[in-house]
Structure 1
């Protein structure tokens, strides 16, 4: 049966076989890949060289990649190597299998304080480590907090999430970015901000959501949302302990000058309970590949060619092991995630219809909903015609054959706002009620009833 990594249509870069798209932004796309020599799964961030040069990002990109390659922290995604072709730069990253941290909240509604504290400690460890090396994330949010197979937090996209940003002569960053609900007020005001202080604010929002199960700042009107953020207009629910209430209020201080620092957070009594500083070794890392991809010679072993093999048009088959590996902790219920306000950027539904019929129905429904549709065998790229909160919503769709009479349809947000993706998914599955045999809500409800959950 075809392996999951072969879902790309046979595209290879160097010794890596490229698979599905995991995410997409203005300057880069991230793809699942497999090392054909070792069998190891990785994620590859692909940047367009022309865009890098056009935005005068080459110098900064080289500095960011060099620094990221030196990072060896248990709570930050590892960068393995860098390659380049004539038109692309490929950054090979660790691929983690435990899913997003916030999928745990989607199933549990909220976390208990001790569990939330454990994750928050790991997040602060990662952020503090990177800040000490002059690296700021600038877009900390749920979908950048991943879990490995052992349930350990891995922060992704550190130092690579907002490459166009530059520190000016005043020592401050000046580009507004991030997800509105998680972004610090000084970032929205766009008058310059301290990257460390802004990252800590986002950590405070994340801690609130872990404990509450909902966002501290939320409103359907963007300007009303911004006003709430500017004033730090929020209230803690009654189940928060007094210790964590005080800490969150110190972190979510709208004035960055009086906001608590990470060093003070680490000394906070609530934070210190059960705290174990991370232990790890500083590895001897070569930066030769980083220098090579920015050289003009083009004769380095780090220069690769992207090749594509033609394959017959048929849905990718998925065996039982691959199916189970897509769920977290071998819990098959998480294959059909419950959709809540803390929506994931990827979701699925099962169908008993033939693959040809499913792809046609999705194509028709998406077109009716105002999406531009590009078809490639059993994969679709959908792009919203109207711009949303974070640009045009883009969704990658692929069909997998689980059995002769059962398919799984995977939808993955590759661009735009996650909450808009949630609305799109709900509307799509409603219009596909004759096709979608079991959606996320239905599967979750059945599992919950079977387990006797309240």
Structure 2
């Protein structure tokens, strides 16, 4: 830790995670009294790393939303960029899922998913896509509010209503949309839209919250013929995907299936499912009340 050349006003309490391009610490900082912060340290060892870090800072500094962790301040000390971030005291969704290996109760999972959808709708309206939605990049604060973190591979997809097609293969394999595996040159893939990437990943996360498991094996697994047939145009056969078969039919039909469409042109926008999501949450609440009354 001494190699970080820390400011004298800063005290590291412990390491709390690894970001896409850096390590994250829980800290106390005299310049932000009476609160714990998360400090993300990015080693900007060359010009490319410096540009990536600066892009992350520029994107996150623009975002003001209750379901996105705030970037409070940033600075560079020698070859390290320091990002001072709001700390979510209840840790990552990944850790919660490790404890609840059979998944969460539907009401809590849908509540967290609503928080995620709200964050992403806002992010997309701002012209950005995250591209790495997964449980490790979702944290829960003291109010049981889910928040999005780590914009290390986020990028702009729209500026002044002009959309840009993306061509970079990035993200975490188990959560990546099928179009990001269509490699045509090294790390480049066929041009694709940005928003459907986050929609697909969010669908995977929702399945994992509800069941404690991923819906299928890695998309890179050549032997997984059912997945390959599905992304090539076959109908989704639930007999071949036992995790999906365990889902509540309403949740599967209204949320999961529209988000996990292999063709990104047919993948639903998260903004369009918010109404269905509210109905599902209300119905679960009413069912719970009816259970106690009866």
For residues 152 and 186 of structure 1, the distance between their equivalents in structure 2, rounded to whole angstroms, comes to: 31
Matches within 5 A, 1:1-400: 12-13=6-7, 15-24=9-18, 27-37=21-31, 38-51=33-46, 53=47, 55=48, 58=51, 61-108=53-100, 109-157=102-150, 160-162=151-153, 171-189=164-182, 190-218=189-217, 222-224=221-223, 228=227, 231-232=230-231, 234=241, 237-246=244-253, 247-267=255-275, 269-274=276-281
Residue 12 of structure 1 aligns to a residue whose secondary structure is coil
Select the structure that is richer in helix: 2
Q: 1:166 to 1:87 in 2, by over 3 A?
A: same
Matched-pair contact (CA < 8 Å) for 2:173–2:220: no
Residue 74 of structure 1 aligns to a residue whose secondary structure is coil
Q: 1:231 to 1:9 in 2, by over 3 A?
A: same
Q: 1:225 to 1:69 in 2, by over 3 A?
A: farther
Unpaired runs of 5+ residues, structure 2, are 183-188, 283-294
For residues 226 and 39 of structure 1, the distance between their equivalents in structure 2, rounded to whole angstroms, comes to: 55
Q: TM-score, normalised by structure 1?
A: 0.51
- 1:398-433 alpha-carbon deviations (Å, 9 max, x no partner): xxxxxxxxxxxxxxxxxxxxxxxxxxxxxxxxxxxx
For residues 240 and 173 of structure 1, the distance between their equivalents in structure 2, rounded to whole angstroms, comes to: 32
Residue 24 of structure 2 aligns to a residue whose secondary structure is strand
Q: 1:87 to 1:193 in 2, by over 3 A?
A: same
Number of residue pairs matched? 262
Q: 1:138 to 1:255 in 2, by over 3 A?
A: same
- 1:67-89 alpha-carbon deviations (Å, 9 max, x no partner): 42232211111100011123222
Matched-pair contact (CA < 8 Å) for 2:19–2:40: no
For residues 87 and 225 of structure 2, the distance between their equivalents in structure 1, rounded to whole angstroms, comes to: 34
CA RMSD of aligned residues (A): 3.1
Matched-pair contact (CA < 8 Å) for 2:213–2:243: no
For residues 225 and 25 of structure 2, the distance between their equivalents in structure 1, rounded to whole angstroms, comes to: 33
Q: CA deviation at 1:132?
A: 0.9
Unpaired runs of 5+ residues, structure 1, are 1-6, 276-454
Q: CA deviation at 1:170?
A: 7.8
Computing the radius of gyration over CA atoms, which structure comes out larger, 1 or 2?
A: 1
Q: 1:14 to 1:89 in 2, by over 3 A?
A: farther
